Amino acid sequence: MDQIFPYANIIVGVLVIIIGFIFHWIGQLISLLDWDYATKIGLQEKGLPPEYKTYEHGIAVADVAIGWIYGIAGAGLIFNTHWGHQLVWIPGVVLLYHSISFWFWTGNQKKSGHQLRPDSLRVVWFVANLVTGVLAILVAWNAG
């Protein structure tokens, strides 16, 4: 399979496992199992207004429902399998969506007077999801 740059499959596979599987799936699984513990260790924000918690809980459910695929897709890329290159479309598109929705969600929170995380974390998380998503899409696209 053609590569967009040397070792793209390995680099993107590792990114998908770290950003998608570990941070999204495992992090959100912890949130679903014990929200208070997730808040204590910083996975969820302290002082979250109830109406925001409903939304955040819904996102956690969605991440847990689909995020297990990220680990499989990432492993498939690391081992340079054809199915890994095809399956990585899913985390690619979802992580791109996550980056955009997170940027606007946190921006709207800030506008309404609820800045729940520092701007530096907002930028880093947006960029991490955006770069991982775009690279995953490019790897999948390039695989044909």
Written as one string, the DSSP assignment of 94-140 is HHHHHHHHHHHHHHHHHHTT---S-HHHHHHHHHHHHHHHHHHHHHH
Cβ-based neighbours of 120, under 8 Å, separated by 6 or more: none
> 128 or 108: which carries more pLDDT confidence?
128
Confidence of residue 84 (pLDDT cuts 50, 70, 90): very high
Mean pLDDT across the chain, nearest whole number?
Answer: 92
Q: What is the DSSP letter of 25?
A: I
Span 14-31, average pLDDT: 96
Amino acid sitting at position 48: L
Nearest by Cα to 102 from 80, 82, 121: 121
Q: What is the pLDDT of residue 28?
A: 95
Q: Which domain holds residue 103?
A: 8-143
Q: Could you read off the pLDDT of 26-71 as tens digits, one per residue? A: 999 999 999 999 999 988 888 888 888 888 899 999 999 999 999 9
The reply to whether 1 falls in a domain is no
Domain count, the chain: 1
Span 124-130, average pLDDT: 96
The reply to whether 33 falls in a domain is yes
The reply to whether 37 falls in a domain is yes
> 138 or 49: which carries more pLDDT confidence?
138
The reply to whether 81 falls in a domain is yes
For residues 139 and 6, the answer to whether their CB atoms sit within 8 Å is no
The reply to whether 17 falls in a domain is yes
Q: What is the pLDDT of residue 141?
A: 94
pTM: 0.90
Is it the case that residue 3 has pLDDT exceeding 90?
A: no
Is it the case that residue 1 has pLDDT exceeding 70?
A: no
The reply to whether 83 falls in a domain is yes
Nearest by Cα to 144 from 86, 81, 88: 86
